[in-house]
Amino acid sequence: MRKEAPSVPERRQEGNIGRIRQERAAAFRKEIFPYFRYVAQSGFGLVASAIAFSLLIGYVKLLRGVPESWPADWVGAACLLLAAFPTPLRTYLMPADSIFLLPMETNIYRHYLRPSIHKAIVKGTVRTAAMFAVYAPVYAAAPVTEKAADSRSLGLLAVMFAALGAWNAIAGWRERTLASSGLRLAVRSGRFAITAGAVFGLLLGPIVPAVIFAIAGAALCSACWRLGASHYVPWDRLIQEESAARRRWFRFLAWFVDVPEAPSRPVRRPWAAWVGKLVAWERRKAWTYLYTLTYIRGETFGAFYRLCLMAAFVLVAAQGIVVDTVILAVAVLAGGMQLSELGRLRAGENAFVAPLPQEGKASAAAFVGRVAGLAAAVFLSIAAFLPSAAENPLLAIVTVAACLGWMGWRVPRTISKRARNEDEED
């Protein structure tokens, strides 16, 4: 019997359901995209690039000659396990969906969730295959794995690991549908054991028993999915995972900038809060005191000092006064741009009920920014030029003077201007 074609209203509903996810994904990207400007200003990209180049250089050096004592077997197995086992799934579901979209559960699965599951399978396959492609040259050259690599086809191993990544993605979805949390945990633990055993067996053990173990383990785990009740669409589970994914994104962004959507609370930071005690306990210093403690205990300062630490780490690792000068200039420029956000800081909002002169706010914010900026400039200059200033003292002196001028004059002016603009808007 031929299956009837969907009616016009049904096709329209299917199209609308498919667009819901696209619109939500686009809205999420639009929501977080503006914050990446601050991530770039923080120097995170500089540090990430330095780490990536260091890993690439280390990888090339490793290929030229793998030390006999280097544990290529354990490192490769761990990397492949980390590539194959995780099964992330973004659905962009919201808490209210379990009520308002529940009547359309069948179409939600077919036209909303199934494309996401297919993408997760493709990503799991590509991720695991790419990890093996990176590891394969080391696997074939390392003394501890050379014999095992010669006894099997690397092409067959690539296909097997790609299939292992795809199966984990499928298994991850089936685990989510299980109603019992205990059974879900047991099946997930079993999947981890099977994946780990298959990875070690395919890399290091006899190939035929390893393939049999992987296939039998996957079949056994698949049979366990049928032991308990399951949901057609695990609404609560998917909504919880989506909420957790959003929190992780905003928690990451909160390292670099104040994010209104992220849970924010004052941080004690006793190692830095003592600076507030240095401010004179006088009425004319009230705004300076409030800005100092508000800044130190907020995320804006957290992003700034993490930038300084990352930049100092790169400067210490870098060699040559020219490289140090470039990195120092970029770090101080990015730090100054981040410090300029002090002008938008809402310091001591409950102080508006107190009879404090409002005209002192802008100068207090500029003063706090000047002190923090000069301290950071001195700290980074020491990290940059202490070992390399002798190569070119004039270049070092000019660079340090420019950094001090940027942090001590230009940045405070920007902070003061932004603070006055904020007061006018209020």
Each residue's pLDDT tens digit, 263-274: 555 667 777 777
3-state secondary structure of 271: helix
The phi and psi torsions of 394 (rounded to 5 degrees) equal: -65, -45
List residues bridging with 230 in a β-sheet.
178
pTM for this model (two decimals): 0.67
**pLDDT tier at 330, thresholds 50, 70, 90:** confident
Nearest CA among 52, 78, 66 for reference residue 138: 66
Worst-scoring range by mean pLDDT, 238-252, 261-275, 288-302, 348-362? 348-362
pLDDT at 216: 94
Q: Is residue 11 within 8 Å of residue 277, measured between CB atoms?
A: no
Per-residue tokens: 304: 């700034």
pLDDT at 351: 53
Q: Is residue 35 within 8 Å of residue 257, measured between CB atoms?
A: yes
Average pLDDT over residues 359-363: 79
More confident position, 351 or 231 = 231
DSSP secondary-structure letter at 178?
B
- Where is mean pLDDT largest: 17-21, 98-102, 200-204, 387-391? 200-204
Q: What's the maximum distance between 2 C-alpha atoms anywhere in the chain?
A: 89
Per-residue tokens: 105: 């559960």
| Mean pLDDT score across all residues of the chain | 83
Q: How far is CA 243 from CA 22, 33, 108, in A?
A: 18, 18, 19
Q: Where do runs of H (alpha helix) occur along 285-410? A: 286-296, 299-317, 321-339, 361-385, 393-405
Other residues' Cβ atoms within 10 Å of the Cβ of residue 259: 20
Percentage of residues of the chain with pLDDT beyond 70: 86
Average pLDDT over residues 144-151: 88
More confident position, 26 or 353 = 26
pLDDT at 8: 44
Q: Which residues of 382-396 are buried (b: 16+ CB within 10 A; e: fewer)?
A: ebbbeebbeeeeebb
Q: Which residue has the tokens 């209203």?
A: 9
Average pLDDT over residues 228-243: 91
**pLDDT tier at 18, thresholds 50, 70, 90:** confident
pLDDT in tens, 185-204: 999 999 999 999 999 999 98
Residue type, 81: L
Worst-scoring range by mean pLDDT, 258-267, 384-393, 416-425? 258-267
- Measured CA to CA, the distance from residue 188 to residue 209 in angstroms comes to 23
pLDDT at 2: 46
- Measured CA to CA, the distance from residue 410 to residue 412 in angstroms comes to 6
Say if residue 102's pLDDT is above 80. yes
- Where is mean pLDDT largest: 162-176, 284-298, 358-372, 381-395? 162-176
**pLDDT tier at 42, thresholds 50, 70, 90:** low
